[in-house]
Amino acid sequence: MTIDEALKHFRSGYELCKKIGAHTAAFTRWKKQNFIPVTQQLKINEITGANMPIDLDREAMEKRLENIERKRC
């Protein structure tokens, strides 16, 4: 899942971190890396009721996003 996908549900990085028990510095790191670690994605998915995609690595995330873009065109 992307940072933006997570933020759509939680509305802020602070709320996201609060719900999954992560420090806000972790959120800043995720934004810089443009990737949420899989363990954190699993926690987010559990909280959201398995409504969000889980990407095992950055490449998988980029490929999924490319496929979404292709379908839109």
Q: Which domains does the chain have, with CATH numbers?
A: 3-72 (1.10.260.40)
What is the band of 62 on the pLDDT scale with cuts at 50, 70, 90? confident
Query: Rounded distance, CA 10 to CA 40, Å?
Result: 14
Bigger pLDDT: 22 vs 67: 22
Q: What is the pLDDT of residue 57?
A: 85
Under 8 Å between Cβ of 23 and 41: no
Query: Rounded distance, CA 69 to CA 62, Å?
Result: 11
Query: Rounded distance, CA 36 to CA 23, Å?
Result: 13
Residue 43's CB is within 10 A of a number of other CB atoms, namely: 17
